[in-house]
């Protein structure tokens, strides 16, 4: 097992990519602490799936856009094994609109959750990881943060911002044996993308050289690699998991 006796915090683990990451971590022997905004029964299902691998798992209701709730999340995580080895900033939302119609609230809520939420979590995790001189941080960005996308200036700003934070933190924390990397998924089948009409999905498929949509598990396996000892010499990188979409 690649992550035996590690403790991981994974934000937004109640469904989609976050759940797949939690379950893959548990399979590799890590204890898992996840959080969600609203979906408590879905989060409990994630916990159940993790516990089937014999690890500790807990789900905490914590809105990552609220620093005081992020503090509670990390306090809960420290209760499990007294430490935190891994942080995955996965929680994310979209509020798409063309720029002329985009409201301040639509812009701010996406930045608050996707970008500031990741910052609050990294700040909490960094203190623990620096003291133990070990840590693995993975931030979930997006192909949209690399290439941009019409109707998503808010989301693209948050996901491009995550890449800048990831690289800055890699430089800041490398001397303490802490790596910081980003994963940039392409078009992954989750609730976030299920609402897209079929004709939009068909157009998107034409942009994917591997000719299929990605699964949450495709993303989770890349994250497992990045937080494992096999990736000990990789930091400040953005790994695209997108079937070639960003080429």
Residues forming the active site: 155
The nearest distance, CB 93 to ligand NDP, in angstroms, is 5
For position 187 contacting ligand NDP by CB under 6 A, the verdict is yes
Stretch in the footprint of ligand NDP (CB under 6 A) among 8-16, 97-105, 167-175, 199-207: 8-16
Q: Per-residue x/- marks for ligand NDP, 129-158, CB under 6 A?
A: -----------x-x----------------
Which strands make up the sheet holding 135-140, listed edge to edge?
Answer: 57-61, 31-36, 7-11, 86-89, 135-140, 178-185, 238-241
The nearest distance, CB 78 to ligand NDP, in angstroms, is 19
Question: Residue 85 in contact with residue 136, Cβ under 8 Å?
Answer: yes
- Helix and strand numbers (H, E) in the chain are 10, 7
Beta bridge partners of 10: 34, 88
Q: Among residues 177 and 189, whose Cβ is nearest to ligand NDP?
A: 189
For residues 85 and 7, give the distance between their C-alpha atoms in angstroms, rounded to a whole number: 5
The nearest distance, CB 187 to ligand NDP, in angstroms, is 5
Helix pair 216-227, 16-27: axis angle to 10 deg: 50
The nearest distance, CB 185 to ligand NDP, in angstroms, is 4
Stretch in the footprint of ligand NDP (CB under 6 A) among 90-98, 127-135, 167-175, 204-212: 90-98
Q: Which of 193, 215, 228, 237 binds ligand NDP (CB under 6 A)?
A: 193
For position 11 contacting ligand NDP by CB under 6 A, the verdict is yes
For position 105 contacting ligand NDP by CB under 6 A, the verdict is no
* Long-range own/partner contacts, residues 161-166 (CB < 8 A, 24 or more apart): 161/111, 161/115, 162/89, 162/114, 162/115, 162/118, 163/139, 163/238, 165/115, 165/118, 165/119, 165/122, 165/139, 166/137, 166/139, 166/141, 166/236, 166/238
Stretch in the footprint of ligand NDP (CB under 6 A) among 29-37, 49-57, 78-86, 166-174: 29-37
For position 14 contacting ligand NDP by CB under 6 A, the verdict is yes
Strands (E), 37-144: 57-61, 86-89, 135-140
Note the residues at the interface with ligand NDP (CB under 6 A).
Answer: 11-18, 35-39, 42, 63-65, 90-93, 113, 140, 142, 185, 187-188, 190-193
């Amino acid at each position: 097992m690649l992550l035996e006796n590690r403790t991981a915090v994974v934000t937004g683990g109640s469904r989609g990519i976050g759940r797949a990451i939690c379950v893959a971590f548990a399979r590799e022997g890590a204890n898992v602490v996840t959080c969600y905004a609203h979906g408590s029964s879905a989060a409990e299902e994630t916990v159940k799936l993790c516990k089937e691998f014999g690890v500790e798992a807990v789900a905490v209701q914590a809105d990552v856009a609220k620093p005081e709730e992020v503090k509670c999340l990390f306090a809960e995580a420290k209760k499990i094994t007294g430490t935190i080895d891994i942080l995955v900033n996965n929680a994310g939302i979209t509020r798409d609109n063309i720029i002329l119609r985009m409201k301040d609230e639509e812009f701010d809520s996406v930045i608050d959750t996707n970008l500031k939420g990741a910052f609050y979590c990294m700040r909490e995790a960094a203190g623990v990881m620096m003291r133990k001189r070990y840590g693995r941080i993975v931030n979930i960005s997006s192909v949209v943060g690399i290439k941009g996308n019409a109707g998503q200036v808010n989301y693209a700003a948050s996901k491009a911002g995550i890449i800048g934070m990831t690289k800055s933190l890699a430089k800041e924390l490398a001397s303490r044996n802490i790596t910081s990397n980003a994963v940039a998924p392409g078009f992954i089948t989750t609730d976030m993308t299920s609402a897209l009409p079929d004709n939009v999905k068909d157009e998107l498929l034409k942009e994917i050289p591997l000719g299929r949509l990605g699964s949450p598990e495709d993303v989770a396996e890349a994250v497992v690699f990045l937080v494992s000892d096999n990736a000990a010499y990789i930091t400040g990188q953005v790994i695209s998991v997108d079937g070639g979409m960003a080429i």
